[in-house]
């Protein structure tokens, strides 16, 4: 995994006096929540409610809809590639950042039509400064003065998610799920009381409900677990957003735009959150995640020395921006996985060093995650049993203190997720508070 750059805040960060005067809430709305005029009215309801509760809302929006919709991010990507496939990342970011600008203006107008004073901002206007890594930029700092001035004057700020400006003034986008990161970074810079992530599901669930319809909604969970679930494929929230919130102890709440259920509260430590201990007790596994379309690579020295392979292999992959995962190292062989789309590039790089490589496409990684598994014996055994009973072969495994991952064939992925969900009692709501 790439190391995240530190997020620094400017010295003009909101003072604690202002914090007491101005109770800021960040409310982020995903693509499906802003896709139609009717849905934008629901956004308006959420903002109106926050205002009624005495908050100064800072709203962050994603581009409207999903792939195929006219102003969705994927649509812009196809639009550019259709004319000139090698669009430079800088220009690509100018184009794909438009979706959020459109949403910001429309949501701003929706609020104004309800007599709620509001102003729309690009990411850059909102003070988000990024590095120049176009397409996957990192936020370097946030200068919140401009937003604060308007919030203090009683405006709702509606900020285009997913983007900022580089120091040179170019538009740079933050990568998939980047609006979550915008919301958390603004929440930290504005010292918001809470960041609400509104989406099309009613919180973080024990598995992706598209694969496990009976997945339960977690009522409360820790930053640690959700960072891990997000890294391992639970795309309901971006891991970077959770990391930023964790550093500031900023509460995050993931909830549905479409119903009034309380959603999932992500907080620091369950033990220190009053009244939560009981609900979380006995939870060994919190969730099951999956990462589809991975390629497994097996590398052999091919006549070169093993030490040479150790030294050069991973450095060379890092130099061409290939992130490796599920790394198994033995003296004779190194195996690891990369996203399928990077399989060819990785293989070419390895061959250019003179090593032998086998590429096994069509794999998926399934993981079980839970801070409760620490020190509990037999979790790996249960995982292997569940997969075996479901007829799923395990190609490779890896574990850390809160996660065990297995590489399986892509066609077995959904069966594997369902089998693990059942095996660890998540279907019965053992992990949920209901
Ligand atoms: P948004 O556009 O609002 O950011 P996303 O599509 O990024 O929405 O995230 C919401 C989707 O995440 C859900 O529709 C769901 O299918 C998927 N998802 C994957 N894993 C989980 C999980 N563990 N809990 C909830 N949703 C999940
Ligand atoms: Mg998202």
Ligand 1: which residue has its CA nearest to atom 21? 208
Query: Looking at residue 8, what is its pLDDT?
Result: 54
**Closest to 408 measured CA to CA, from 418, 324, 400:** 418
pLDDT top residue among 302 and 383: 383
Tokens encoding 94: 């100018």
Question: Does the pLDDT value for residue 99 go beyond 80?
Answer: yes
pLDDT, tens digit (0-9, with 9 covering 90-100), for 130-178: 999 999 999 999 999 999 999 999 999 999 999 999 999 999 999 999 9
Q: How far is residue 250's CA from residue 253's CA, in Å, rounded to a whole number?
A: 10
Could you give phi then psi for residue 323, rounded to 5 degrees? -85, 125
- Residue with CA closest to ligand 1 atom 1: 30
| Residue with CA closest to ligand 1 atom 6 | 236
Distance (Å) from CA 235 to ligand 1 centroid: 5
Element (H, E) at 267: strand 264-267
77-86, 273-282, 295-304 — which one is most confidently predicted on average? 295-304
Which ligand is in closest contact with the Cα of 206?
A: 1
- Give CA 313 to chain center in angstroms: 29
70: tokens are 């006219």
The answer to whether the beta carbons of residues 174 and 256 sit under 8 Å apart is no
What is the reported pLDDT for 17? 56
The residue whose CA is least distant from atom 5 of ligand 1 is: 236
C-alpha separations of 23 from 127, 142, 229, 326 in Å: 19, 19, 30, 43
Give the SS3 label for residue 415.
helix
Residue 87 and residue 77 in contact, taking contact as beta carbons nearer than 8 Å: no
- The torsion angles phi and psi of 395, rounded to 5 degrees, stand at -90, -25
DSSP symbol at 25: E
Q: What angle do CA 165, 234, 378 make, to 5 degrees?
A: 140
How far, in Å, CA of 255 to CA of 29, rounded? Answer: 10
Please name the residue whose Cα sits nearest to atom 9 of ligand 1: 236
Instruction: Give percent of the chain with pLDDT exceeding 70.
Output: 91
Biggest alpha carbon distance in the chain? Answer: 74
| Structural domains of the chain ordered from first start | 16-279 (3.40.1160.10), 287-426 (3.30.2130.10)
Tell whether ligand 1 has an atom less than 6 A from the beta carbon of residue 263: no
Instruction: Take residue 60 and report the two structure tokens written for it.
Output: 């962050």
C-alpha–C-alpha distance, residues 232 and 220, integer Å:
19
pTM: 0.91
Q: How far is 177 from 194, CA to CA, in rounded Å?
A: 19
Residues 210-262: tens digit of each pLDDT: 999 999 999 999 999 999 999 999 999 999 999 999 999 999 999 999 999 99
Q: How many CB atoms lie within 10 A of CB 248?
A: 17
Residues composing the chain? 434
What mean pLDDT is predicted for residues 104-130?
A: 98
Q: Is the CB of 207 under 6 A from ligand 1?
A: yes
Count the Cβ atoms, other than its own, within 10 Å of residue 82.
8
Reported as half-sphere exposure (CB side, CA atoms, 13 A), residue 277 has a value of 5
Q: How far apart are CA 406 and CA 422, in angstroms?
A: 16
Task: Label residue 1 by pLDDT band (50, 70, 90).
Answer: very low
Which residue from 46, 71, 176, 208 has its CB within 8 A of the most atoms of ligand 1, so it is best to mutate? 208
Answer yes or no: is pLDDT of 203 > 50: yes
Pairing of strands 334-339, 325-329: antiparallel
User: Pairing state of beta strands 356-369 and 334-339?
Assistant: unpaired
**Ligand 1 mutation target, pool 199, 229, 253, 291, most atoms within 8 A of CB:** 199
Per-residue pLDDT at 429: 53
3-state secondary structure of 48: helix
| Spatial separation of the C-alpha atoms in residues 11 and 14, rounded to whole Å | 9
Structure tokens at 88: 């430079």
The alpha carbon of residue 365 and the mean position of all alpha carbons in its chain are separated, in whole angstroms, by 17
pLDDT value for 4: 45
The residues, ordered by sequence, that sit 6+ positions from 387 with a Cβ below 8 Å of its Cβ are 393, 394, 406, 408, 416, 419, 420
**Nearest ligand, measured from the Cα of 211:** 1
pLDDT at 275 over 50: no
Shortest CA distance to 93 belongs to which of 158, 164, 185, 180? 164
Quick one: pLDDT band at residue 64, thresholds 50, 70, 90?
Answer: very high
Looking up tokens 């309901």, which residue turns up? 236
2 pLDDT above the threshold of 60: no
Q: How far is the CA of 24 from the centre of ligand 1 (A)?
A: 25
Q: What integer pLDDT is reported at residue 413 of this predicted model?
A: 98
For residue 42, the model assigns a pLDDT of 98
Pocket flag, ligand 1, residue 236 (CB < 6 Å): yes
Find out whether the beta carbon of 291 lies less than 6 Å from any atom of ligand 1.
no
Residue written as token pair 């891991």: 239
Sign for the CA dihedral angle at 232, 236, 241, 245 comes to: negative
pLDDT given at position 7: 57
Which residues touch 429 (CB under 8 Å, ≥6 apart)?
216
* Structure-model confidence comparison of residues 387 and 321, the more confident one: 387
Residue 5 has pLDDT above 60, yes or no: no
- Range 419-426 average pLDDT: 96
pLDDT category at 281 given cuts 50, 70, 90 is: low
Say which DSSP state 167 is in.
T
**Tell me, what's the pLDDT at 69?**
87
């Amino acid at each position: 995994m790439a190391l995240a750059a530190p997020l620094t805040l400017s010295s003009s960060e909101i003072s604690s006096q202002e914090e007491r005067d101005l109770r800021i809430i960040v409310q982020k709305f995903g693509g499906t929540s802003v896709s139609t005029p009717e849905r934008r009215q629901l956004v308006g309801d959420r903002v109106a409610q926050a205002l009624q509760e005495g908050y100064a809302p800072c709203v962050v929006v994603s581009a409207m809809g999903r792939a195929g919709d006219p102003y969705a991010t994927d649509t812009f990507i196809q639009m550019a590639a259709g004319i000139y496939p090698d669009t430079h990342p800088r220009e690509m970011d100018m184009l794909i950042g438009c979706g959020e600008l459109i949403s910001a203006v429309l949501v701003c107008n929706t609020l104004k039509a309800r007599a709620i004073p509001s102003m729309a901002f690009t990411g850059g206007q909102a003070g988000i400064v990024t590095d120049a890594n176009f397409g996957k930029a990192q936020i370097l700092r946030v200068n919140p003065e401009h937003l604060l001035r308007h919030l203090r004057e009683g405006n709702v700020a509606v900020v285009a998610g997913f983007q900022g400006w580089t120091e040179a003034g170019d538009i740079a986008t933050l990568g998939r799920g980047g609006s979550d990161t915008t919301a958390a970074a603004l929440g930290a810079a504005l010292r918001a009381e809470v960041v609400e992530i509104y989406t099309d599901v009613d919180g973080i669930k024990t598995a992706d409900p598209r694969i496990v319809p009976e997945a339960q909604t977690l009522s409360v969970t820790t930053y640690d677990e959700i960072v891990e679930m997000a890294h391992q494929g639970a795309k309901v929230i971006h891991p970077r957003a959770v990391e930023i919130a964790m550093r500031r102890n900023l509460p995050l709440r993931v909830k549905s735009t479409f119903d009034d259920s309380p959603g999932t509260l992500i907080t620091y430590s369950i033990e220190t959150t009053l009244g939560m201990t009981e609900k979380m007790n006995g939870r060994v596994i919190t969730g099951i995640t999956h990462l589809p379309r991975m390629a497994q690579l097996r590398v052999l020295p091919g006549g070169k020395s093993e030490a040479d392979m150790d030294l050069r292999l991973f450095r060379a992959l890092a130099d061409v921006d290939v992130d490796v995962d599920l790394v198994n190292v033995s003296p004779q062989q190194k195996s690891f996985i990369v996203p399928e789309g990077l399989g060819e590039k990785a293989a070419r790089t390895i061959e250019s060093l003179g090593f032998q490589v086998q590429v096994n496409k069509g794999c998926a990684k399934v993981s079980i995650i839970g801070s409760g598994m620490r020190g509990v014996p037999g979790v790996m055994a249960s995982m292997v049993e569940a997969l075996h009973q479901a007829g799923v072969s395990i190609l490779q495994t890896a574990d850390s203190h809160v996660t065990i991952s297995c590489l399986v064939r892509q066609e077995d992925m959904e069966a594997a997720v369902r089998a693990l969900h059942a095996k660890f009692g998540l279907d019965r709501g053992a992990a949920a508070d209901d």
